[in-house]
Amino acid sequence: MKVYNGCGKKKCAIARIFLRIKKNKIRINNLKIKKYFNKKMNYKIIFDAIKLTNSKNLDIKINVKGGGKQSQIMAARIGIAKALLQYNENYKKILSDNKLLTRDSRMVERKKIGRIKSRKSKQFSKR
Please spell the DSSP secondary structure of the chain, one letter per residue.
---EEEEEEETTEEEEEEEEESSS-EEETTEEHHHHS--HHHHHGGGHHHHHHT--SEEEEEEEESS-HHHHHHHHHHHHHHHHHHH-GGGHHHHHHTT-S------PPPPPTTSSSSS--PPP---
In this prediction the pTM is: 0.87
pLDDT cut 70: percent of the chain above it: 98
Q: How does pLDDT run across 87-119, given as a tens digit for each residue?
A: 999 999 999 999 999 999 999 999 999 999 999
List of domains in the chain: 4-97 (3.30.230.10)
